[in-house]
């Protein structure tokens, strides 16, 4: 709220305003102030005891117009803001439909590699995390002024395409696949693996077909193009429902002609070594197994294409950071990739980050597409929307646009559930949890937004310039105001930590505090100055919740 002004006032000999602002903390107990400065951090630099530092800084803040009082407690400088001064900041939020935006990232490009679906495989619940975490980060960085580039690094290369061609030739036809959907395509993939257990020679046929794709054979490419077309039609429908978009769909096949220059650099630097007929980069010195780049049969791998992709992205976008939103199962892959890039003296080697997240499993074990053990995302979304529709029909049957609101609430619940926890946490998928609309969920936040919108409609036109801000100095109002004004910091923290859950939890906390305020204080009262003040607060809450939900990719219905 007043961190910048406070830091400038506290800047003293040996302490910069930046040092102080970085050290400021919010006390866990509100009784200890609105903000505090732990002076232990400066003892060594100033060669003073923390208590003495806090005491010396106390006079610098006591006369500030936004400070109610300040005190020194056990080496902490605790500051209590003037509630009236804090309330005066609300107008900035109320007058802005987009809250917490900034231009701090101006001139900086962040590439975000996320979702990266595999061709010929339908969206399942395991794809949800990378898709919505990446989508949220994409919107968050744009919100902070960065040039965000969303990249869908399609899994459109590999022997699985040869397997699908074999399956199509034996049990279907190109025409049937082209007119079918992604589930039919997947059924062929599952059948192939079942048959291959009994007839291993099918794998030889599959490898032969994929070799024909690599060689540009027209018949093989005709199959490849149909598989890709069927898949992309299907995933675009899911992306539309999840509010996910990309700036690039350059997949693995895009880099086929871009790998050799990378291999040439490695050879020139003496880094590429032969091992049992394969070509590898030895990483033993760095505590890692060798990075395999070319197999003995001449085939390249994920790592080879990822090297080419890194060079292409640096040349094309000149990124400030390049983020890979991929499950932690790939930790070793990215450690190897980043180390090889450093050895290659790649210009962006220090700017690559693996944004890892936990795995999703079923309640009775791991998922497996090839064995048909999956939970389709489309099915999950449909069930959530159906549940929302049933609740709306029961509680508000006269609601306009019921189908649209049900879609917003149902899909929002699924997205929110994936963004509620820290991303690294493993998830055991449960329909009961995902379809729960009670407690800390998107429907709860959406309902709070709709409640605020309703109150504003009932209040009519408001004259905020004549608002009596002293009506907002009670505990419930002050808690709401602090949460509203702290939203911008949460957005920055979410970007810094690459953790959308910081925003998810903030808007749940704001919704909870606003609902306590709503229950304890009538908004539409006869006294115009008080009504204007409470409507000012309500509008600020509405704008903040809408912004938070939008950053997560969730709608904010005006009525529910």
Q: What is the CATH number of the domain that holds 466?
A: 1.10.730.10
Q: What is the pLDDT of residue 366?
A: 60
- Over residues 514-537, mean pLDDT: 96
Cα–Cα dist 480/537, whole Å: 8
392/515 same-domain check: yes
**Residue 404 covered by a domain:** yes
Share above pLDDT 70 across residues of the chain, in percent, rounded to a whole number: 98
Check residues 434 and 258 and name the one with the higher pLDDT.
Answer: 258
Q: What is the pLDDT of residue 428?
A: 80
- Over residues 313-336, mean pLDDT: 97
**Tokens at residue 524, please?**
């539409």
Cα–Cα dist 293/272, whole Å: 9
Q: What is the pLDDT of residue 118?
A: 85
Q: What is the pLDDT of residue 427?
A: 80
> Which has the minimum average pLDDT: 80-89, 432-441, 442-451, 519-528?
432-441
Q: Band the pLDDT of 370: cuts 50, 70, 90.
A: low
Last residue of a domain, one of 81, 106, 135: 81
pLDDT tens track for 19-66: 999 999 999 888 899 999 999 989 988 899 999 999 999 999 998 999
Cα–Cα dist 67/36, whole Å: 12
Contact 6, 64 (CB under 8 A): yes
Pick from 268, 265, 289, 288: nearest CA to 278: 289
**Residue 381 covered by a domain:** yes
Answer yes or no: is pLDDT of 305 > 70. yes
Tell me the pairing of strands 427-428 and 76-81. unpaired
pLDDT tens track for 411-436: 999 999 999 999 998 888 777 777 77
**Residue 147 covered by a domain:** no
Answer yes or no: is pLDDT of 487 > 60. yes
Q: What is the pLDDT of residue 373?
A: 61
**Residue 364 covered by a domain:** no
Q: What is the pLDDT of residue 362?
A: 62
**Residue 469 covered by a domain:** yes
> Which has the minimum average pLDDT: 218-222, 374-378, 422-426?
374-378
Mean pLDDT of all residues belonging to the chain: 93
Last residue of a domain, one of 186, 216, 242: 242
Helices 442-459, 501-520: inter-axial angle, 10-degree rounding: 40
Which H or E run includes 190? Answer: helix 182-198
> Which has the minimum average pLDDT: 301-310, 322-331, 353-362, 467-476?
353-362
538/406 same-domain check: yes
Q: What is the pLDDT of residue 126?
A: 86
Check residues 119 and 249 and name the one with the higher pLDDT.
Answer: 249
Last residue of a domain, one of 48, 81, 114: 81
Contact 203, 196 (CB under 8 A): yes
71/196 same-domain check: no
Please state, in angstroms and as integers, the Cα–Cα distance from residue 107 to each residue in 2, 103, 347, 389, 547, following that order. Answer: 27, 9, 18, 44, 23
Q: What is the pLDDT of residue 165?
A: 96
Pick from 495, 505, 303: nearest CA to 416: 505
**Residue 410 covered by a domain:** yes
Answer yes or no: is pLDDT of 369 > 60. no
Q: What is the pLDDT of residue 433?
A: 77
176/33 same-domain check: no
CA 4 to chain centre: 28
383/482 same-domain check: yes
Answer yes or no: is pLDDT of 395 > 70. yes
- Taking the CB of residue 536, how many other CB atoms lie within 10 A of it? 25
**Tokens at residue 324, please?**
């890979």
> Which has the minimum average pLDDT: 88-92, 119-123, 301-305?
119-123
Answer yes or no: is pLDDT of 284 > 60. yes
414/525 same-domain check: yes
164/77 same-domain check: no
204/60 same-domain check: no
56/199 same-domain check: no
Cα–Cα dist 69/58, whole Å: 10
- Over residues 510-531, mean pLDDT: 96
Please state, in angstroms and as integers, the Cα–Cα distance from residue 136 to each residue in 110, 419, 489, following that order. Answer: 13, 9, 16
Q: What is the pLDDT of residue 103?
A: 96
**Residue 433 covered by a domain:** yes
**Residue 357 covered by a domain:** no
Q: Which domain holds residue 546?
A: 377-552
Q: What is the pLDDT of residue 12?
A: 72
Q: What is the pLDDT of residue 158?
A: 86
> What single DSSP character describes residue 25?
B
30/166 same-domain check: no
| Residue 135 φ then ψ, to 5° | -65, -40
Q: What is the pLDDT of residue 527?
A: 96
Answer yes or no: is pLDDT of 368 > 60. no
439/548 same-domain check: yes
184/77 same-domain check: no
Domain holding 62: CATH number? 3.30.1360.70
- Number of domain units in the chain: 3
């Amino acid at each position: 709220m007043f961190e910048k002004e406070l830091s400038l006032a506290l800047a003293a000999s040996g302490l910069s305003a930046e040092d102080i602002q970085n050290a400021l903390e919010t006390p866990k107990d509100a009784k200890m102030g609105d903000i505090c400065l732990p002076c232990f951090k400066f003892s060594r630099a100033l060669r003073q005891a923390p208590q003495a530092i806090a005491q010396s800084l106390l006079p610098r803040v006591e006369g500030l117009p936004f400070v109610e009082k300040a005190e020194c407690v056990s080496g902490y400088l605790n500051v209590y803001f003037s509630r009236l001064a804090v309330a005066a900041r609300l107008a900035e939020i109320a007058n802005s439909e987009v809250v917490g935006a900034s231009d701090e990232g101006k001139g900086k490009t962040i590439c975000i590699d996320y979702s990266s679906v595999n061709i010929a495989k339908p969206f399942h619940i395991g794809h949800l995390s990378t898709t919505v975490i990446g989508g949220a980060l994409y919107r968050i960085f744009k919100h902070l002024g960065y040039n965000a580039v969303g990249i869908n690094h399609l899994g459109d290369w590999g022997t699985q395409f040869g397997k699908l061609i074999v399956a199509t030739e034996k049990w279907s036809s190109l025409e049937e696949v082209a007119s079918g959907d992604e589930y039919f395509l997947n059924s062929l993939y599952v059948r192939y693996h079942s048959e291959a257990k009994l007839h291993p020679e099918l794998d030889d046929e599959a490898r032969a077909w994929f070799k024909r794709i690599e060689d540009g054979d027209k018949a093989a490419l005709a199959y490849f193009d149909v598989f890709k077309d069927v898949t992309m039609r299907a995933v675009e429908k899911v992306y539309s429902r999840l509010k996910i978009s990309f700036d690039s769909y350059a997949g693995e096949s895009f880099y086929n002609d871009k790998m050799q220059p990378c291999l040439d650099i490695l050879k020139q630097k003496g880094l590429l070594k032969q091992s049992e007929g394969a070509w590898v980069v030895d990483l033993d010195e760095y505590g890692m197994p060798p990075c395999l780049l070319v197999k003995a049969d001449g085939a390249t791998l994920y790592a080879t294409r990822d090297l080419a992709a890194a060079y292409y992205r640096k040349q094309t976008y000149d990124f400030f950071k390049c983020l890979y939103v991929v499950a932690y199962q790939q930790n070793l892959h990215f450690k190897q990739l980043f180390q090889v890039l450093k050895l290659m003296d790649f210009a962006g080697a220090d700017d690559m980050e693996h944004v890892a997240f936990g795995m999703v499993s079923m309640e009775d074990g791991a998922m497996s597409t090839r064995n048909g053990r999956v939970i389709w995302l489309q099915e999950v979304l449909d069930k959530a929307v159906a549940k929302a529709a049933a609740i709306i029909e029961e509680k508000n049957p006269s609601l306009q646009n019921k189908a649209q609101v049900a879609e917003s609430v149902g899909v929002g619940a699924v997205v929110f559930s994936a963004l509620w926890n820290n991303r690294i946490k493993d998830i055991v998928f449960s329909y009961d949890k995902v379809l729960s609309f009670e407690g800390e969920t998107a429907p709860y936040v959406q309902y709070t937004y709709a409640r605020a919108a309703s109150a504003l409609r009932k209040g009519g036109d408001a004259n905020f310039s004549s608002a009596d801000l002293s009506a907002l100095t009670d505990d419930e109002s002050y808690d709401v105001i602090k949460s509203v004004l702290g939203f911008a910091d949460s957005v920055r923290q979410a970007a810094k930590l690459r953790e959308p859950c910081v925003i998810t939890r903030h808007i749940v906390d704001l919704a909870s505090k606003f609902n306590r305020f709503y229950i304890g204080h009538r908004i539409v009262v006869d006294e115009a100055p008080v009504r204007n003040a409470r409507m000012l607060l309500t509008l600020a809450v509405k704008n903040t919740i809408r912004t938070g939900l939008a950053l997560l990719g969730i709608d904010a219905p005006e009525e529910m």
